[in-house]
Amino acid sequence: MKKILFLAFGLGTILSAQAQESTLKPIKINAATAVKNQGKTGTCWNYSATSLVESEELRKGLGEFNLSEMYIARNIYIEKAKNYILRQGKAQFSEGGLGHDLIRGISLYGAMPQNAFQGVTGEIPDHRGLKDTLKSYLDEVLKHRPLAANWLQGFEQILNQKIGNPPANFEYKGKNYTAKTFAKEVLKFDANDYVNITSFTHHPYYAQFILEAPDNFANGSFYNLPLAEMVNLTKTAVKDGYTVMWDADVSNKNFQQKKGYAILFADTADAKLPVLNPAVKEQAYSPELRQELYENLTTQDDHLMHLIGLEQAADGKYFFKVKNSWGEAGPFKGYIEVSEPYFAINTVSLVLPKAALTKELKKKLGL
């Protein structure tokens, strides 16, 4: 979302457990496509949820895909522009978004492979200044009433220059597709196959609410679970072969990609931070602490990643293996080991396949 980094792009194929140099014992590592680099963009929501969809294609046996993040990013900017105009400028307009924006983007516009459309700035995108240019255009449009009938065409012209103009049709394995037919016929994509989850105490459990996050411009609803159930759902889903889009706060000293770990160690006044490793002592987590940090704006939806595995330390502590979109940064080549306490406190929201939910949980949620 707001995290914008430029790191060397990492090439690779499907991850295997042997590819990582970790002292943690793998419980389940699910298939994922190569680590990518979001470059100088704030569209991590796009990279993380695209990776989720790519893993679902692998899980279903439909093949390995390298989908175009820029195709969806461009189209979600159009959705943001429509929202901003109809709300007369009284709405969030930024690079950020949530995982459900990618799911919605594919349902509205379809999808295409990276080799059909990667954008004008190349494989590692550079969107510096793009948001400001787009917003300035929209603000100028709003100065004139009634609005110019062709305002959207002018907006799309900027997108074509800065991101690129995707093809109406493209070839894939000898057959011609549009983005919509590719999503339907090749990816077998159905937005109803995914569900949004969160856990906060200021709304009723087992019901949906519109998550209060600045980048939730689309007013997406999330099912609210007790914290223990959200954590257990994530563990169970991974064990059963599913992966999870993870929206979290990472703008804290506990998240250290360069060292390979995100661990909820106790606050200290010492300038020297504890050495991050699986054996370090961590704080206990609770719904009350989680809610306090959310309501005092310590916890914010900084960054979205793709959770693909579950591991365990020698002392029994659980860690989630998380794929980031900053290239092959850190000791685990673009992955980071996230402890259960860090996950429990810093998670803002999740997107995962609905099939990953147990029958009991589906019944509680009315699904």
Q: Tokens 């200290």 belong to which residue?
A: 268
SS3 161: helix
For residue 272, what is the DSSP state? S
Q: Are 274 and 280 in contact (CB under 8 A)?
A: yes
The model's pTM = 0.92
Map out the domains of the chain with their CATH numbers. 17-271+278-365 (3.90.70.10)
Strand-pair partners of 274: none
pLDDT-derived band at 1, boundaries 50, 70, 90: low
pLDDT-derived band at 271, boundaries 50, 70, 90: low
pLDDT at 277: 79
Residues 4-14 have a mean pLDDT of 38
What would the pLDDT profile of 79-119 be if each residue is shown by its tens digit? 999 999 999 999 999 999 999 999 999 999 999 999 999 99
Range ranked top by mean pLDDT from 19-23, 121-125, 230-234:
230-234
pLDDT at 279: 84
Q: Are 254 and 264 in contact (CB under 8 A)?
A: yes
Residues 137-143 have a mean pLDDT of 98
pLDDT-derived band at 246, boundaries 50, 70, 90: very high
Half-sphere exposure of 86 (CA within 13 A, CB side): 8
d(CA 43, CA 48): 9
pLDDT at 135: 98
Q: Is the pLDDT of residue 273 over 90?
A: no
pLDDT-derived band at 9, boundaries 50, 70, 90: very low
Q: What percent of the chain has pLDDT over 70?
A: 92
**Helix 69-86 × helix 99-109 angle, to 10°:** 100
All residues at 6 or more sequence positions from 46 whose CB lies less than 8 Å from its CB, including other chains:
38, 69, 72, 73, 76, 97, 101, 102
Q: Tokens 């595995």 belong to which residue?
A: 309
pLDDT-derived band at 227, boundaries 50, 70, 90: very high
What would the pLDDT profile of 160-204 be if each residue is shown by its tens digit? 999 999 999 999 999 999 999 999 999 999 999 999 999 999 999
Strand-pair partners of 282: 265
pLDDT at 278: 86
Residues 225-252 have a mean pLDDT of 97
Rounded to the nearest integer, the mean pLDDT of the chain is 92
Q: Is the pLDDT of residue 14 over 80?
A: no
Residue type, 33: T
Residues 310-337 have a mean pLDDT of 96
Residues 339-367 have a mean pLDDT of 97
Can the peptide bond before residue 146 be classed as cis, meaning omega within 30 degrees of 0?
Answer: yes
Residues 223-241 have a mean pLDDT of 98
pLDDT at 265: 82
Q: Is the pLDDT of residue 6 over 80?
A: no
CA distances from 70 to 50, 91, 94, 160, 197 (A): 11, 23, 15, 11, 25
pLDDT-derived band at 11, boundaries 50, 70, 90: very low
pLDDT at 104: 97
Q: Is the pLDDT of residue 151 over 70?
A: yes
